[in-house]
Structure 1
Amino acid sequence: MPSVSSAEISCDAELDASGLNCPLPLLKAKLELNRLASGQVLKVTATDAGSQRDFRAFAQLAGHQLLREEVEDGLYRYWLRKK
């Protein structure tokens, strides 16, 4: 599977969950995904290191596609495609 850079992923909505602790970034992301249509992409920015585990597990359990995740300078970014 070819690697996709964040510049190549267009998002339909963005959520800034910086400063929020687990499980709030995931809960806010779930609410935002509920507003999107199937196939749309949500970009989430978080500062909680626990969000990596949460978003990976959530995408797998809920059937959404985790297109990419990045960690840079204490920021965690996720691109989720709604199923």
Structure 2
Amino acid sequence: MINQATDQAPDLTKAYQIDAIGLVCPLPILRFKKRTQHLPSGTQVEFLSDDPTGRKDLQALCELTGHRIEWIREEGAGVLRYRICLA
């Protein structure tokens, strides 16, 4: 398990889910942008992706938008689950 913000276990409370498993660059990030564009600031989003470049792309998007990656968890089979707080 990878925890971006702290050494504590990730918060698994309810969040808006976006599944981008099976999509390759740039489709995972485009799906994330499309599905979050009308969500309010502070919304918790769980984003699942198995795209090898997805982590770098998502981090770049968050730097540009001000979204915060709270944690990243390895799910197995190359899938990463991200918890993002929207700016």
* TM-score higher than 0.5: yes
Structure 1 counterpart of 2:52, which letter? A
Question: TM-score, normalised to structure 1's length?
Answer: 0.86
The residue number in structure 2 matching 1:78 is 82
Distance 2:27 2:52 in 1: 12
Which of 23, 27, 30 is equivalent to 2:26? 23
| Superposition TM-score, scaled by structure 2 size | 0.82
What root-mean-square deviation, in Å, do the aligned CA atoms of Structure 1 and Structure 2 show?
Answer: 1.6
Aligned partner of 2:42 among 23, 39, 43: 39
Q: Deviations over 1:7-53 (max 9, x none)?
A: x2424310111100011111111112113111011101011111010
- Which structure is higher in helix share? 1
How many correspondences in the alignment? 82
* 3-state SS of paired residue (1:35): coil
Q: Which runs of 4+ in 1 moved over 3 A?
A: none
Query: Is the 8 Å Cα contact of residues 71 and 77 (structure 1) preserved in structure 2?
Result: yes
Aligned to 1:65: 68
Instruction: Go from structure 1 to structure 2 and tell me whether the alpha carbon gap of 1:60 and 1:70 turns closer, same or farther (over 3 Å shift).
Output: same
Provide structure 2 residue ranges, at least 5 long, that are not aligned to the other structure: none
- 5+ residue gaps, structure 1, are none
